[in-house]
Amino acid sequence: MNRKLVLNSIPALLLYILPSVNAAKTVEKQEEGLKQISLLNFQKASAFYKSKMNKAKADSPDWQRNSFLYAVSLLRRLPDREDDKLEASELLDDLISRGSKGVCYDGALFFRGKLAEQIDFYGDEPDFEGAYVYYNKVVNECPKSVYRNYAAFCRAQVKMFTMDKNQVKEAIDQLIDWLKKYPDNPYAIAEWFLISDAARYPLKDYKLSLRALLEISKKGVPQCILPDDFYWQTANTAMEAGNKKAAAEFFTKIINLDVSRFKTISRDMLKKIKQEGK
């Protein structure tokens, strides 16, 4: 499983663990809907929550929660349809307008950001600036939110999507500050990968890219990534950064693996580094 697939599945997983209103009384009622969400079956989930929303007392906490889950099911179900996205945005905007005292305020902000960020149908365009505003509100206004850590990741990502060097620099600085405060947050490794990729391009700051990869190495390379792929990327980034010591270290790691398609070239690169050091 690659890290893009993992990250794309996170919104559905977050919904599955979403704290509920009056949890002890609500879990049984919502079990079928949450089960469908966990299976990524948003067709059935949307039908379930629309029914629950229509049966609930208007504007009650139960209505708001079902409204939220219906909106997100509309947002996520396929095929993408413009009218589904418009209905979802109206429901989420209504929940946001109620402020932090309303039910699912943080979730409504987060998925409104997703709706702004994504291209969902023909003629749709991403609104990275708008998405940033929503994610930023989750981070700054909802300190206890289950969405907060992932919102911090998405907040940086949408700035990087612009490929504007100034915005990318701002996003990296903001993300590094976040990582200083929360170095062990669940998305720390993904955030360091994001920094490394953005530092490489468009910034071409190979020293910063290497710094991020070394942070990942300290934390441990995720199992979903082949070790030799990571070592090869790190070694070559070190070469581009002019850090031959780090490059030699990671070329050596490749050579010491039982199996790697990069072994022969890594031996050649290590030999070259040693010859240049004489």
| pLDDT band per the 50, 70, 90 thresholds, residue 81 | very high
For residues 34 and 45, give the distance between their C-alpha atoms in angstroms, rounded to a whole number: 8
For residues 137 and 129, give the distance between their C-alpha atoms in angstroms, rounded to a whole number: 13
3-state secondary structure 102-149: CCCHHHHHHHHHHHHHCCCCCCCCCCHHHHHHHHHHHHHHCCCCCCHH
pLDDT at 105 over 90: yes
For residues 263 and 167, give the distance between their C-alpha atoms in angstroms, rounded to a whole number: 38
For residues 86 and 71, give the distance between their C-alpha atoms in angstroms, rounded to a whole number: 10
pLDDT at 23 over 70: no
For residues 86 and 66, give the distance between their C-alpha atoms in angstroms, rounded to a whole number: 17
203 vs 38 pLDDT, higher one: 203
Q: Which residues of 109-128 are buried (b: 16+ CB within 10 A; e: fewer)?
A: bbbbbbbbbeebeeeeeebb
Average pLDDT over residues 21-34: 54
Residue 121 has what pLDDT?
87
Determine the Cα angle at 79 with ends 78 and 82, to 5°. 110
Domains of the chain: 1-147 (1.25.40), 163-220 (no CATH), 226-278 (no CATH)
115-140 pLDDT, tens digit each: 999 988 888 999 999 999 999 999 99
For residues 191 and 48, give the distance between their C-alpha atoms in angstroms, rounded to a whole number: 35
Q: Which two tokens stand for residue 154?
A: 């998405």
Percent of the chain with pLDDT over 90: 78
Q: What is the pTM of this model?
A: 0.86
pLDDT at 178 over 90: yes
| pLDDT band per the 50, 70, 90 thresholds, residue 6 | very low
Which pairs count as long-range contacts for 182-191, CB under 8 Å and 24+ apart, including other chains? Answer: 182/149, 182/152, 185/149, 185/152, 186/149, 186/150, 187/149, 187/150, 187/152, 187/153, 188/219, 189/216, 189/219, 189/222, 190/3, 190/6, 190/7, 190/153, 191/152, 191/153, 191/156
32 vs 201 pLDDT, higher one: 201
Are the beta carbons of 167 and 159 closer than 8 angstroms?
A: yes
pLDDT at 186 over 70: yes
Q: Which two tokens stand for residue 220?
A: 């441990």
Phi-psi region of 22 (alpha: psi -120 to 50; beta: other; left: phi over 0): left
| pLDDT band per the 50, 70, 90 thresholds, residue 11 | low
Looking at residue 229, its amino acid is D
Between the two ends of the chain, the Cα-to-Cα distance in Å is 43
pLDDT at 8 over 70: no
Residue 24 has what pLDDT?
37
| pLDDT band per the 50, 70, 90 thresholds, residue 170 | very high
